[in-house]
Amino acid sequence: MTPLRLIHAAAALTAAGSLAVTLWTGLDDRGVALAFGVLIAVGELTRWNASQTRQTAPLGAAGSLSYALLGADAGRPAQHDAAQVVTVVLVAGLLGAVPHIWSGRGHTPDHLARRILTAGFAAVCYQPLSHQGVFAAWGGPAHALLLLTLLGLTSLCGAVLAAALAHCRTRWPFGPLLREELRGLLGIGSAVCATGAVMALAVAVIGLWALPVFCLPLLLVQLSVHRYAAVRATYRQTIASLARATEIAGCTPAGHARRVAALSLAVGRDLGLTGPELTVLEYAALMHDIGQLSLVDPVPAGATAGLPAAEQRRIALLGGAVVRQTGVDAAVAVVVERQADPYPEQPVAARIVRAVNAYEEKTRDAGPTGPLHALAELRLGTAGDYAPEVVESLARVLARPRGLRERVPARRTGLSDPAPGWVTHG
């Protein structure tokens, strides 16, 4: 946890130093500071959890970056310095975070640390040079290009910080987490950068009235993202209902699909799968046994791992056909119907589902030594049935401390997010 403590310590020192300097020198342009503080606080109040590890406050981020890169107010040169920028972001962020802290949603210290360090980075890069008149001759497109460049560099720093914080919290591989953060910059991250630059340029020309005008498009984007998240949640609920059909019909034990999906996601993250790949993996793991609904004679206890290879393939193909008829993404159907193929011919998601499903079935009612025997059997099966890298990844996931394996997110964002007791190893 040393990197996490270093990031928090750096943010705390930056905040404390900036607050001390601002208290000593006084607050310049109080009206401007108040306006941007209110904007940032409102943005933090509307923050939501975009994923288990990522929190999103686009309006707060745009307001922070705009204030850090503000060079003038209605033609009058701005007087605030980098320390004041950090102080305003700190106070506004704390005020906006009160409801989140009260309700216990998300990792608020991580979010505030990232916000303080990114705003401080942008302000240190811009404000000292702006006060010295270095950018006075940079008018029109040159100034806009300068702001966009600084915003791009700040966004990259923020992505690295977010990935590092998520890695410290979850122990997921840093590389895939960073790729996910960089991919997010192409979406709402680009809207945040564009809005921050436009607000800074507009306030410099027409004053503070530009803030409510130019933050409106970002509010509409935020509303659209919320609606998209609601659609995704409904979609997940539909898939979860389909997955429970095998349990209701008595084909599989209660909770089997959820446990397989949760453990499959953990293995997928350990192997470095990206967001879209993890989504396909989750859906396929939830629906991996749906082919059993087409059987005349149910498999005892739904345990398919011990069946002959030909019978496993037949059930998998039946499951793929059912998934295709439901209208779910074709990639999910491919994973379901290929989970019984020899592992060299399988996609990575199918390899994970097959190994995790076999582990869950072998440890069911097996007693305290069940997990060790199950892993030993999986390792013996790496000659043709199970991918060696998947089995070793599964072993790493199960060997993690219980606190990491059974951590429950403050707000569950996926149907198969780990819940207490999802790990079947004792």
Domain CATH for 374? 1.10.3210.10
Give CA–CA dist 272/393, Å, rounded.
11
Helix (H) or strand (E) holding 72: strand 72-73
Phi, psi of 73 (to 5 degrees): -130, 105
Residue 237 lies in a domain: no
Residue 88 lies in a domain: yes
Residue 414 lies in a domain: no
Tell me, yes or no, whether 224 and 301 share the same domain. Answer: no
Tell me, yes or no, whether 65 and 184 share the same domain. Answer: yes
pLDDT above 70 as % of the chain: 89
Q: What is the total count of domains within the chain? A: 2
What pLDDT digit, counting tens, does each position of 12-47 carry?
999 999 999 999 998 998 999 999 999 999 888 887
In the structure, what pLDDT confidence band is assigned to residue 1 with cuts at 50, 70 and 90? Answer: low
Distances (CA, A) of 30 to 34, 392, 414: 6, 59, 44
From 5-14, 115-124, 134-143, 255-264, the region with the lowest mean pLDDT: 134-143
Tell me, yes or no, whether 153 and 256 share the same domain. Answer: no
Tell me, yes or no, whether 157 and 284 share the same domain. Answer: no
pLDDT at 117: 94
Tell me, yes or no, whether 149 and 283 share the same domain. Answer: no
Tell me, yes or no, whether 224 and 330 share the same domain. Answer: no
Q: What is the mean pLDDT of the chain?
A: 82
Residue 279 lies in a domain: yes
Tell me, yes or no, whether 199 and 304 share the same domain. Answer: no
Which of 178, 208, 231 is the last residue in one of the domains? 231
Tell me, yes or no, whether 190 and 275 share the same domain. Answer: no
Tell me, yes or no, whether 226 and 281 share the same domain. Answer: no
Tell me, yes or no, whether 291 and 196 share the same domain. Answer: no
Residue 413 lies in a domain: no
Contact 313, 354 (CB under 8 A): no
Tell me, yes or no, whether 226 and 258 share the same domain. Answer: no
Give the domain range for residue 338.
Answer: 244-405
Tell me, yes or no, whether 52 and 186 share the same domain. Answer: yes
Position 353, amino acid: V
Residue 239 lies in a domain: no
From 36-40, 78-82, 132-136, 254-258, the region with the lowest mean pLDDT: 132-136
Give CA–CA dist 34/30, Å, rounded.
6
Residue 412 lies in a domain: no
In the structure, what pLDDT confidence band is assigned to residue 51 with cuts at 50, 70 and 90? Answer: low
Residue 170 lies in a domain: yes
pTM: 0.76
pLDDT at 402: 54
Which of 188, 203, 231 is the last residue in one of the domains? 231
Cα Rg for the chain, rounded, in angstroms? 26
pLDDT at 416: 37
Q: Which tops the pLDDT comparison, 139 or 262?
A: 262
